[in-house]
Amino acid sequence: MIVGIDLGTTNSLIAVWQDGVARLIPNMLGEFLTPSCVSLDEDGSILVGRAARERLQTHPERTAAVFKRHMGSDKVVHLGKRAFRAEELSALVLKALKADAEAYLGAPVTEAVITVPAYFSDAQRKATRAAGQLAGLKVDRLLNEPTAAALAYGMHQQGNESRFLVFDLGGGTFDVSILELFEGVMEVRASAGDNYLGGEDFVLTMMELFFERTGLPAKLKNDPHFMQRLTAQAESAKRVLSAAPTATMRMRHDDKDHLLEIDEELLEKVCAHLLKRLRDPVERALRDANLRSSELDSIVLAGGATRMPVVKRLVTRMFGRFPASDINPDEVVALGAAVQAGLKMKDAALKEVVMTDVSPYSLGIEISMPSE
């Protein structure tokens, strides 16, 4: 059985191509989103998912999150007395997803299509493959996240000729891809991105604002328990602002409550530097594809961070139209990975679909002159 996996910075999902459609697979809690968190319990056992995320505030020294950003690097994360590389932590998440899929499908899962940011380097892609192998999965194919989103979206647009841009802002990475769909062929025209820009950066900016506005001592930034509680407050406020005009961050220190009320206008102001960084890859992708924004038929959102109103407003202003919201942005990449898994299995329902991708990086030629 081949599955599709969205190995995300904040959350991960697993899906399968079954009975002619892509289906998400719930975890043992009945949820599609599995937090990309790993924790080492006091007895030495490993916790993954929501159970690990809940320990971020109580046991920050034994819990890891956002490790996708360190894929392909030499960074080591210490959980208690044990040390893990990012690919080892990712393998534990993949192993949990694999177990959930096998319990749900009632069959062994041996192979996977895993999605990666389009702008992942070769070292980061090799680390992702290594994580899959450590989890007991054969990983023949890594699929770029915006391309996966386009595959999921394209299945709803079969028979139509269209050009569309995928704006994929996840927890830790940002990707843009421009695609063209014609006669069952999906061609990626251009890709651009930023591997260190995502929803987590908006959370960090809100945390910095909290320190600035409340006057809390900077030494608290070295207190992992305090910082994890503040992270949870900032994350909660970010989610509240997706549905309400204001949100309040509240922390208690030295028997005193410290409050910060944030509205959309303030958030947009303090995150202006992040919003500018979102513009640059979009403009670069349009230049590479030799297209004007007016020539695009639609804009597709992917990644949970695109739920933020400040991001949606930015996209609307940039393109002069509202983005498409046909598919849940949290789920669209995993669904696209399942479509690719179906293509690998040569499912009859997908025999008309052909996909081509591009290298996100420029290619050059190195010339070496022999010494005389």
Query: Which residues are catalytic, by number?
Result: 6, 68, 145, 168
Average pLDDT over every residue of 161-185: 88
172 in any annotated domain: no
pLDDT at 364: 61
Residue with tokens 């949290």: 330
Same domain, 207 and 73: no
Q: Dihedral (C-alpha) 78, 81, 85, 91: value to the nearest 10 degrees?
A: -110
Q: What share of the chain is helix, strand, coil (3-state, %, to 5)?
A: 40, 25, 30
pLDDT in tens, 81-118: 999 999 999 999 999 999 999 999 999 999 999 999 98
Q: Do 152 and 214 sit in the same domain of this protein?
A: no
The number of C-alpha atoms within 13 Å of 53 and in the hemisphere containing its C-beta is: 16
Span 203-214, pLDDT tens digits: 999 999 999 999
| pLDDT average, residue stretch 59-68 | 95
**Residue 12, pLDDT score:** 97
236 pLDDT more than 60:
yes
Q: Which domain holds residue 127?
A: 2-159+329-356
How far is the C-alpha of 52 from the C-alpha of 37, rounded, in Å? Answer: 6
pLDDT at residue number 156: 55
In a domain, 26, yes or no: yes
* pLDDT per residue as tens digits for the range 225-235: 999 999 999 99
Given a cut of 80, is residue 3 above it in pLDDT?
Answer: yes
pLDDT value at position 96? 97
pLDDT at residue 355 above 70? no
- The enclosing domain of 145 has a CATH number of 3.30.420.40
User: Residue 71: its pLDDT value, please?
Assistant: 95
Q: Per-residue confidence at 37, pLDDT binned at 50, 70, 90? A: very high
* Confidence (pLDDT) at 368: 72
pLDDT at 140: 83
Q: Map residue 157 onto helix, strand or coil.
A: coil
Hey, what are 21's tokens? 């459609």
234, 135: one domain: no
Do 233 and 106 lie in one domain? The reply is no
- Does 226 map to a domain? yes
Percent pLDDT > 70 in the chain is 93
Beta 138-144 vs 111-116: how paired, if at all?
Answer: parallel
Please state, as a whole number, how many other Cβ atoms lie within 10 Å of the Cβ of residue 219. 8
Q: What is the mean pLDDT of residues 214-227?
A: 93
User: Parallel, antiparallel, or unpaired for β 37-40 and 63-65?
Assistant: antiparallel
Q: What sign for the dihedral angle of Cα 98, 103, 105, 106?
A: positive
Q: Is the pLDDT of residue 259 over 60?
A: yes
Q: Is residue 279 part of a domain?
A: no
Tell me, what CATH number does 221's domain have? Answer: 3.90.640.10
Q: What is the pLDDT of residue 187?
A: 86
Please report whether residue 87 resides in a domain.
Answer: yes
Top-confidence residue, 208 or 362: 208
DSSP bridge partners of 3 = 112
Q: What is the pLDDT of residue 8?
A: 95
Same domain, 264 and 128: no
Query: 248 near 261, Cβ under 8 Å?
Result: yes
Query: For the chain, what is the mean pLDDT?
Result: 90
Q: Looking at the predicted structure, is the pLDDT value of residue 363 above 90? A: no
Same-domain status, 19 and 154: yes
Whether 146 and 237 map to the same domain: the answer is no
- Residue 216 β-bridge partners: none
Q: Do residues 252 and 128 share a domain?
A: no
Residues 133, 206 share a domain: no
- Among the residue ranges 180-189, 319-328, 333-342, the one predicted with the least confidence is 180-189
Statement to judge: residues 211 and 127 lie in one domain = no
Does some domain include residue 168?
A: no
Encoded amino acid at 81, one letter = K
245/110 same-domain check: no
Q: How confident is the model at residue 356 (pLDDT cuts 50, 70, 90)?
A: low
Cβ burial of 364 (10 Å; 0-12, 13-18, 19+) is exposed
Tell me whether residue 75 is in a domain: yes
The predicted pLDDT at position 87 comes to 96
Give yes or no for a contact between 268 and 276, defined as CB atoms under 8 angstroms apart.
no
Examine the domain organization and report whether 17 and 124 are in the same domain. yes
Q: Count how many domains the chain has.
A: 2
* Predicted confidence (pLDDT) at residue 155 exceeds the cutoff of 80: no
Residue 66's nearest CA partner among 51, 80, 52, 83 is 52
- Alpha-helix residue ranges (DSSP H) falling in 259-349: 264-270, 272-289, 309-319, 332-344
Helix 122-134 vs helix 86-105: angle between axes, to the nearest 10 degrees?
Answer: 50
300 domain-assigned = no
